[in-house]
């Protein structure tokens, strides 16, 4: 079977329509249709069936698309392994959340500019769901994502994951409220801490539901549903909202905070940062170099 046609089938299984495949691959729907038809002839079985005004994959088409993902990954790996010792070069597209970019990626970029100038890195800031979507479409080479131990987010089939680091998160609250809680004899468990704030507004995340999932989970353990009034991706803005008396929300426990804001450690949840790549791509010298620097920084 022609691997190019397998690529069309794999993308169709991921995207759901020939128009979407054509847009992603920069071709026409007619070309996509012709390539799938040729693949159907090669495989000796129908891969598409009518569905309303469009088409969908048959059971055989879905099975072949799953094989195609593994085949294409193996082909990529074979090509890269032909010369794994080559001097790293090329443009590496990295997407991720701002903390990981600043904490983990930026020092590597500065090092590579001196020691490996042939490696160029393009940076795109996105929340995890956006980043993983772009990685699946092959619009990124490396995704820096996060989840919580209380709200795990597996990457799915065809993605390899490398752990980078984890950090304890806490509940950001007004300092006077924190003083009342700690004055009772230490910081209680997470559910008890949340119970102190069951009647106030809460601050969630605007582009990633993981924060809200964790907030709702711990709140349910305390016996209430939080009033999610605000959304912010910026820890600085979360602090602004807390200082304005507009609510409480999750913040990194080790984050330097401004006067008037205190962070109560919860012992859960832990934020876990991941580096994720498409299966079979890790042998590319430029990507392998960056992943190795990330591992070294973790040790």
* SS3 per-residue string spanning 190-241: HHHHHHHCCCCEEEECCCCCHHHHHHHHHHHHCCCCCEEEEECCCHHHHHHH
Does domain 90-166+273-298 fall under CATH 3.40.190.10? My reply is yes
Burial of 251 (0-12, 13-18, 19+ CB in 10 A): buried
Q: Residue 185 pLDDT > 70, yes or no?
A: no
Compute the distance between CA of residue 130 and CA of residue 96 in angstroms, rounded to an integer.
9
Compute the distance between CA of residue 47 and CA of residue 154 in angstroms, rounded to an integer.
29
Of the candidate ranges 85-89, 93-97, 227-231, 255-259, the one whose mean pLDDT is the lowest: 85-89
Strand ranges (E), 82-118? 90-96
In the structure encoding, which two tokens stand for residue 264, read together?
């109560």
Which pLDDT belongs to residue 78? 72
Which pLDDT belongs to residue 299? 58
Of the candidate ranges 42-46, 103-107, 199-203, 293-297, the one whose mean pLDDT is the lowest: 293-297
DSSP for 44-64? TS--EEEETTEEEE-HHHHHH
Q: Residue 188 pLDDT > 80, yes or no?
A: no
- In which band, very low, low, confident or very high, does the pLDDT at 205 lie, cut at 50, 70 and 90? confident
Which superfamily is assigned to 167-269 in CATH?
A: Periplasmic binding protein-like II (3.40.190.10)
Top pLDDT among 242 and 157 is at 242
Which pLDDT belongs to residue 37? 94
Does domain 3-81 fall under CATH 1.10.10.10? My reply is yes
Q: Do domains 90-166+273-298 and 167-269 have the same CATH topology?
A: yes
Which pLDDT belongs to residue 31? 93
What digits encode the pLDDT tens for the residues 17-37?
999 999 888 889 999 999 999
Q: Give me the mean pLDDT over the 140-157 stretch.
A: 88
Which pLDDT belongs to residue 287? 93
- In which band, very low, low, confident or very high, does the pLDDT at 186 lie, cut at 50, 70 and 90? low
Compute the distance between CA of residue 56 and CA of residue 231 in angstroms, rounded to an integer.
38
Compute the distance between CA of residue 173 and CA of residue 72 in angstroms, rounded to an integer.
50
Q: Residue 281 pLDDT > 90, yes or no?
A: no
Which pLDDT belongs to residue 182? 78
What digits encode the pLDDT tens for the residues 226-243?
999 999 988 899 999 999
Q: Against a cut of 0.75, is the pTM above it?
A: no
Domain ranges of the chain: 3-81, 90-166+273-298, 167-269
**Dihedral angle sign, alpha carbons of residues 236, 238, 239, 244:** positive
Among residues of the chain, what percentage have pLDDT more than 90?
A: 57
What digits encode the pLDDT tens for the residues 108-122?
999 999 999 999 999
Which pLDDT belongs to residue 110? 95
User: How far apart, in Å, are the Cα atoms of 204 and each of 225, 235, 239?
Assistant: 13, 11, 12
């Amino acid at each position: 079977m022609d691997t190019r046609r397998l690529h069309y089938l794999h993308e169709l299984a991921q995207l759901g329509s020939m128009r979407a495949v054509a847009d992603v691959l920069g071709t026409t729907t007619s070309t996509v249709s012709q390539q799938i038809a040729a693949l159907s002839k090669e495989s000796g079985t129908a891969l598409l069936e009518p569905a309303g005004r469009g088409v969908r994959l048959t059971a055989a088409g879905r099975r072949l698309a799953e094989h195609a993902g593994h085949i294409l990954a193996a082909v990529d790996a074979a090509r890269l392994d032909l010369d794994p010792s080559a001097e790293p070069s090329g443009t590496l597209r990295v997407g991720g959340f701002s903390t990981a970019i600043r904490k983990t990626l930026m020092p590597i970029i500065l090092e590579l500019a001196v020691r490996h100038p042939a490696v160029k890195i393009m940076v795109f800031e996105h929340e995890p769901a956006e980043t993983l979507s772009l990685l699946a479409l092959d619009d990124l080479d490396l995704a820096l994502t996060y989840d919580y131990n209380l709200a795990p987010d597996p990457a799915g089939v065809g993605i390899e994951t490398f752990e980078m680091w984890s950090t304890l998160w806490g509940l950001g609250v007004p300092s006077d409220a924190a003083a009342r809680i700690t004055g009772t004899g230490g910081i209680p468990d997470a559910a008890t801490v949340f119970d102190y704030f069951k009647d106030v507004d809460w601050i969630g995340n605007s582009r990633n539901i993981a924060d809200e999932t964790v907030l709702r989970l711990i709140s349910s353990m305390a016996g209430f549903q939080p009033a999610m009034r605000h959304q912010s991706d910026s820890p600085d803005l979360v602090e602004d909202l807390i200082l304005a008396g507009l609510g409480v929300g999750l913040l990194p426990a080790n984050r330097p905070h401004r006067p008037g804001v205190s962070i109560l450690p919860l012992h859960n949840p832990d934020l876990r940062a991941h580096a994720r790549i498409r299966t079979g791509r890790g042998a590319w010298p430029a990507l392998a170099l960056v992943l190795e620097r990330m591992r070294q920084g973790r040790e």
